[in-house]
Structure formats: structure tokens, C-alpha cells
């Protein structure tokens, strides 16, 4: 007799692992593997694949099976799939959906990308406030298998407006005749359908929610965004920020799957921008060429000074960019940020300046040059810290992604001005 955990081999593999295996198989092998799974299991598996792969598999499945799988997929996944397809392919799949479900999916498709509405699923449970707990529980039993979210029960009025929320736990534990209005919370944490996905993730993290209701401008329920979708958004946003902070345009495909042409396009633009910006440093050096010929020893410390200034600016930019991303600071805090970084930059500059003087002394340069290096280090680090911290805030105020002001860009911006600071301090302290 088979043990309880035994069964058809594919059913014992997690959907994510199945999705990893599928692309490595030929189409006949894919169909043979998926044919041993239930439609709901296939739908879960397809949810981990890209839209083009989802469609390719659905297209090769028997139509009856493909219809069943499509109707088992969460509505937000269906909307993403349809948006990625050609109009003719989209029309075919839309015909496979029931009329009421099709209307809801089409509504989700109308919201801009990267907004709460585009991420929402319509698979939630809704009840009326005048129902009893027993009636609400009966409704859960009736529609719960088709819902993507069952741990929250949303309360809607006759016009579909969200008026409250309760948990399935409270409904189960309540006395059968208890009205839902006595169980629900009316101060529902919710978002508008056009809310940016970054703001949505902050709310879910702040209030420890498993799902977040999405409403339209009239307060009518659009759907809910589940925590697994929020995790996907966090990963996507973090990847974009990492790419931008490395001066690379975000790459949607996995690194090894992206073509060389795509990677070239994503990287070359910023490299050209940084190259042009870096030319300013050469211009500054050319301007002070005669000055350097008089005091050659000053050239020894150029890499040290501009390198340290760039590093200080990059540190500040990274800290403030992350603080902006998680909502710790906003554009209104720019004055506080400048005040904080100016003091911190001055302290860091004094510490590094002292080390710079020691380093100059070890190299055997004259004391006045050593003091020039130390004083320049203080000013450059303080200035770079303020600039690095301020640029991301200015970017956010202008509507740009703060991560655009990446360490390479900040370093390039700091280098040229840092040289001017160094040479002007040297001119003053050395009396040239």
C-alpha cells in the first residue's frame, strides 16, 4: 500500500522547481510532464515563468486543458500575460475566459504598469455588512476555492465600495448570528489603483499585511495585491536600484539570458555620459598645468584626494538613496540632510585630513604642502558628502529615480570640483 506522501512524481515537486525544469525540456517532454498535473498545479507553475513562455506552453496544450489552466491562474497573472501578447493571441485567450471574469481582467489591464491596479487580483472574498457570521462563512465555503486571498474578508456596500474588512479567523470564531458589521474594521488600510508600486510595498511592510485592498477613485473595490506580489515588486525595485547605482540601465532579463546587444545598450549610454563628464577633470588639470609645473609634489596627492572625495560622496548618496526608498526621509528633509552631512563630512574630513598630513610627511614633502593636502582633504570630503547626499533628493523632487545619482556619477561630479578646491587651497596656502 502506498504511503501518504507518495504519489505521481511531478505532484511532489514544488511549482517553482517545476518552472525551473520546464525550460530545459523539449515541448513533447513539457507536455508529458504537465499532463500529469492538475490544472491548478499547472497554473501555479506557469506563474513562475515569463509571459512568452506561459503562452508557448498554453498554445501547445490541448485546448480544453489550456482553458482550465488559464481560468486557474490569478487574474493579475492573466492580465500580465495578455498585455505581453499580440492582439490576435490576446483575443484568443480572452475568449477562453467566462464573461464576468473577462470583464474584471480587462479592467486590470487598463491600469498603468507598476501601479497598484496593474498588480491587483480579483480573487478576493466579499460579503455584506448586514450578513451574519454564519452567512459569511457559508459564502466563504462556496467561493473560497476560487479565491486567491481567503485570510481577509472584505465588506462591500451595494455599489461595490469598500466599507470594512475582517479576518476569516474572526468570522469562524464569532457566534453564528453575529452581524458582520460588528466584526469588521472600518478604518481600512487601502490604496488607490494609480498608486505607485513602491508606495504600495511600503504600506504592506509598515502594517505587516498579507494583502492590501485596491480601490478606484470612487472607493469601489478593484482587487487586492497579495504579499507574494509585493515580494516580487521588492525584488524588481531592488534590482533596478542596484543596476542604476552601478550606472546601468535596468535589465529585465536574467544576466545570462540577456543578449550581448541588450547588455551593450544598457551600459553604453551611461558610460558615454560618465566619459563626457569625466572630461571636465582633464580640462581642470590642463587649466592648472602651469601651476603644477611649479609645485610638482602637488600632483602626487591628486589620486588620493579626488578618490577619497568620490568615496565620501558615494557613501552619502547610497545612504540617502536607500533612506528615500524605504520612506525614512523625503524631499522636505533636504535642509536637515544638508546640515547633517555637512557636520558628518567635516568630521570625516578632519580624520582623513590628519591621516593625509601624516602620509605626506612619510613621503618627505615639505610641511606647507603636507598642510595643504590635509586642509584640502577636509574641504573636499565635507563638500562631497553634502553633494552626494543632496543629489538623490533633488532627483526625487524633479520626479527622477534617486538611484540615477549613482556612485559612478557622484564620483565623476566630485572629481573635477575637488581638483579646483585642491588647487585653489594650494594657491592660497603656498602663496602662488
Query: Which pLDDT does position 244 carry in this prediction?
Result: 73
Tell me: the pLDDT tens digits for 304-331? 888 898 889 888 988 888 888 777 888 8
State the angle between helix axes of 407-430 and 260-287 in degrees (0 to 180), rounded to the nearest 10: 10
Residues 21 and 176: their CA atoms lie apart, in Å, by 47
Query: Which pLDDT does position 287 carry in this prediction?
Result: 78
Residues 83 and 65: their CA atoms lie apart, in Å, by 22
Query: Which pLDDT does position 9 carry in this prediction?
Result: 60
* For range 221-245, the mean pLDDT: 84
Q: What string of DSSP letters covers 223-261?
A: EEEEHHHHHHHHHHHHHHHHHHHTT-----S-TTTS-HH
**pLDDT of 290 over the 80 cut:** no
Query: Which pLDDT does position 162 carry in this prediction?
Result: 96
Most confident of 236-250, 339-353, 396-410: 339-353
* For range 347-358, the mean pLDDT: 92
* For range 24-31, the mean pLDDT: 85
State the angle between helix axes of 197-207 and 227-245 in degrees (0 to 180), rounded to the nearest 10: 120
Query: Which pLDDT does position 4 carry in this prediction?
Result: 37
Residues 404 and 293: their CA atoms lie apart, in Å, by 38
- On average, the pLDDT of the chain sits at 87
- Please identify, in words, the CATH class of the domain defined by 125-244: alpha beta
Confidence of residue 253 (pLDDT cuts 50, 70, 90): confident
* For range 4-15, the mean pLDDT: 61
Confidence of residue 241 (pLDDT cuts 50, 70, 90): confident
Query: To the nearest whole percent, how much of the chain has pLDDT over 90?
Result: 43
**pLDDT of 2 over the 70 cut:** no
pTM check: above 0.75: no
Residues 129 and 159: their CA atoms lie apart, in Å, by 13
Query: Which pLDDT does position 271 carry in this prediction?
Result: 76
Run of H or E residues at 126 = strand 125-127
Confidence of residue 292 (pLDDT cuts 50, 70, 90): confident
Query: Which pLDDT does position 66 carry in this prediction?
Result: 92
Contact 391, 417 (CB under 8 A): no
Confidence of residue 272 (pLDDT cuts 50, 70, 90): confident
- Could you state, in order of their start, the residue ranges of all structural domains in the chain? 11-110, 125-244, 260-430
* For range 211-226, the mean pLDDT: 93
Question: Which CATH architecture fits 260-430?
Answer: Orthogonal Bundle (1.10)
Q: Which three cell numbers stand for residue 340?
A: 547633517
Tell me: the pLDDT tens digits for 159-198? 999 999 999 999 999 999 999 999 999 999 999 999 998 8
CATH for 11-110, options being 3.40.50.150, 1.10.3720.10, 2.40.50.220, 1.25.60.10: 1.25.60.10
Least confident range from 5-9, 67-71, 117-121, 145-149: namely 5-9
* For range 237-252, the mean pLDDT: 76
Query: Which pLDDT does position 261 carry in this prediction?
Result: 86
User: pLDDT: is 402 or 382 the higher one?
Assistant: 382
**pLDDT of 407 over the 80 cut:** no
Query: Which pLDDT does position 5 carry in this prediction?
Result: 38
**pLDDT of 112 over the 70 cut:** yes
Confidence of residue 6 (pLDDT cuts 50, 70, 90): very low
Helical H segments across 398-406, by residue range: none
Amino acid at each position: 500500500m502506498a504511503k501518504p506522501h507518495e504519489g505521481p512524481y511531478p505532484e511532489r515537486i514544488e511549482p517553482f522547481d517545476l518552472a525551473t525544469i520546464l525550460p530545459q525540456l523539449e515541448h513533447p517532454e513539457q507536455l508529458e510532464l504537465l499532463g500529469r498535473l492538475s490544472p491548478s498545479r499547472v497554473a501555479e507553475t506557469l506563474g513562475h515563468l515569463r509571459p512568452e513562455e506561459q503562452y508557448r506552453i498554453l498554445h501547445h496544450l490541448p485546448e480544453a486543458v489550456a482553458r482550465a489552466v488559464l481560468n486557474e491562474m490569478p487574474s493579475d497573472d492573466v492580465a500580465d500575460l495578455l498585455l505581453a501578447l499580440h492582439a490576435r493571441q490576446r483575443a484568443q485567450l480572452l475568449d477562453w475566459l467566462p464573461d464576468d471574469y473577462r470583464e474584471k481582467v480587462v479592467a486590470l489591464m487598463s491600469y498603468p504598469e507598476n501601479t497598484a491596479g496593474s498588480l491587483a487580483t480579483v480573487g478576493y472574498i466579499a460579503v455584506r455588512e448586514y450578513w451574519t457570521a454564519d452567512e459569511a462563512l457559508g459564502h466563504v465555503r462556496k467561493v473560497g476555492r476560487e479565491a486567491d486571498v481567503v485570510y481577509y474578508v472584505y465588506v462591500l456596500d451595494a455599489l461595490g465600495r469598500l466599507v470594512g474588512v475582517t479576518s476569516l479567523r474572526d468570522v469562524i470564531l464569532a457566534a453564528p448570528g453575529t452581524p458582520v458589521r460588528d466584526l469588521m474594521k472600518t478604518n481600512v488600510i487601502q490604496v488607490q489603483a494609480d498608486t505607485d508600486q513602491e508606495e504600495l510595498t511600503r504600506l504592506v511592510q509598515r502594517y505587516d499585511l498579507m494583502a492590501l485592498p485596491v480601490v478606484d477613485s470612487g472607493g469601489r473595490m478593484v482587487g487586492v495585491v497579495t504579499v507574494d506580489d509585493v515580494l516580487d515588486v521588492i525584488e524588481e525595485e531592488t534590482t533596478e536600484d542596484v543596476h542604476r547605482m552601478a550606472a546601468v540601465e535596468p535589465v529585465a532579463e536574467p544576466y545570462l539570458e540577456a543578449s550581448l546587444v541588450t547588455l551593450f545598450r544598457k551600459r553604453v549610454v551611461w558610460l558615454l555620459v560618465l566619459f563626457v563628464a569625466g572630461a571636465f577633470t582633464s580640462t581642470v588639470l590642463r587649466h592648472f598645468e602651469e601651476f603644477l609645473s611649479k609645485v610638482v609634489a602637488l600632483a602626487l596627492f591628486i589620486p588620493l584626494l579626488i578618490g577619497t572625495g568620490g568615496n565620501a560622496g558615494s557613501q552619502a548618496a547610497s545612504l540617502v538613496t536607500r533612506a528615500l526608498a524605504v520612506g525614512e526621509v523625503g524631499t522636505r528633509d533636504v535642509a536637515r540632510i544638508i546640515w547633517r552631512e555637512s557636520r558628518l563630512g567635516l568630521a570625516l574630513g578632519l580624520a582623513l585630513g590628519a591621516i593625509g598630513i601624516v602620509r605626506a610627511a612619510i613621503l618627505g614633502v615639505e610641511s606647507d604642502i603636507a598642510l595643504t593636502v590635509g586642509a584640502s582633504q577636509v574641504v573636499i570630503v565635507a563638500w562631497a558628502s553634502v553633494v552626494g547626499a543632496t543629489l538623490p533628493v533633488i532627483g526625487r523632487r524633479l520626479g527622477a529615480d534617486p538611484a540615477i545619482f549613482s556612485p559612478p556619477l557622484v564620483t565623476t561630479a566630485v572629481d573635477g570640483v575637488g581638483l579646483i578646491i585642491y588647487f585653489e587651497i594650494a594657491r592660497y596656502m603656498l602663496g602662488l
